[in-house]
Structure 1
Amino acid sequence: MAKKPRPEESSEDEVFHVEVITKARVNDDREWEYYVKWAGYESDADSWEPSENVHSCDRLLRSFWTHVGTDNEDYDPGYVVEAEPSWIAREREFFAKRIKSQTQEKEKERTRRRNKHLAFQITSADAKPTKATKRNQMQQLKEFVETINSGVRRTHLVERLAEFNLV
């Protein structure tokens, strides 16, 4: 039976990451829109987004408004506030560190799972000794018991014990 082809993901399922918000403006409905720099895209992909599209960026939004000043007035449509380049650079650096940290954590988790699986394989392979190993151990034990019971001299007995790592 042939495998079914994977359905292509729709653009609705695709997740985009906000790298930084550089500006905010008041739209015709007197609501704020944000000019977003998207992670992994060039500046020609930057876009104005309604607040509901960036609502999950709480820390970034708080930082932006702290930097440019709190929105405590009614502004006319078209009013724009811009972040300073130094603030934008700090936020981009923060984002890069956070993404790097998340990537490292994901890699650690993958490695942990891989190693756990590998350890399980090694343990499983080593868990049951073979019949030949058991037979060999039993034969050595019988020989040792015979040696003890035969009344051999003591030095020979010590040598035999050493063979079995019992001394």
Structure 2
Amino acid sequence: MADDRNSVSMKLKIAFSVFGVLAGCCVFFVFTFLYQNYHAGLWALLSCALSSIVLHQHLLFRNNRLEHWHTIHSLTALRNLGILTLLCSTGDKMSSSEDEIPRRKKSVDGAQSRSRSRSKEEDGSEDEEDEYEVEEIRDKKLKNGTWVYYIKWVGWESDTNTWEPKEHLDCPDKLEDFERKWKRKEEKREQRRREERERKIKDREEREKRRDEKLEKRKLESSDSDSETETKPVKVQSRRESEDKQKVKEKEKKEEKVKIRKIESSLFKTDKLMKDNRIEKERKKDDRKDKDDKKEKEGRKEKDERKEKGRMTKEIPVKILGMTKEAGTNYFIVRFRTDETGLMTMSDAHDFVPKLCCQFYSEFIEIS
């Protein structure tokens, strides 16, 4: 049993079952979606399902798990199902092929058999041929100088309709009815064509009348003296003159429109320029104000600095007279340029008059 599970025959069976699954899927998609043959697609899907069942059984047998999935009764049922499906598919194939042969023969050789039967009846042959009954005559046309009729046959589909000459038809009543209907159709067509022609002629005449009336009115308005009906060439000449005047007026109107557009565009441009100038002027004013403000601020700063310098120059001491202490801070007693005396902190004196500080220390402090 182990040898059977891993033998070449088992591998071939698995390969054939895989091929059956793939082939069934491909045939199903091709016949169903490409050719719209749903009958063949259904059989392909069924064969794919059976092949997948067989593949599953082979794999279970190879992996020694067939007994867990199936019993003897289920395996016999699957075998009987496969045999029944095979018999049904072969029977359906044979019946469809038998139906297809006469259908093709019927569609392809229908016209030839009908023409042969009509020719043999005319020649008086004694051989019996199948006779075809005319269901309806649908149309007619000229072919090589003779009229042929488009025939719908009894018991035949519309795709087997043929064009037949009158000699092949044995239905005088239907021919008369068709010819009567054909004549009515032709009369209706002719009537429509006449009505169309008459309508076009009437429209043309009305247009010419209106044009003539307009021309006469213009003539009467332009001329002071009343004139009688003029001859045809004069009318033609007046028409041309009026058309020329109309053209001149149209040109003038176009030129006026162009001028108006130019003026509007120039006005728009000037308005835009004026707006831009206003914006520029306002911007310049703002810049000037900013500059003036900056200058004023700088002038104020300079003045403040000058004042501060003057105050500093005035308050710079000339000589340190002594030292004192008030509220815990040390002060120098100094004399200013104005001969006034005052107090100055030691830190300020060290910053502003370091030379005077050194002089004072050298005079009053003895180094031992």
TM-score (norm 1): 0.38
- Of structures 1 and 2, the one with the larger relative CO (CA 8 A, separation 6+) is 1
TM-score (norm 2): 0.19
Please say which structure displays the higher CA radius of gyration: 2
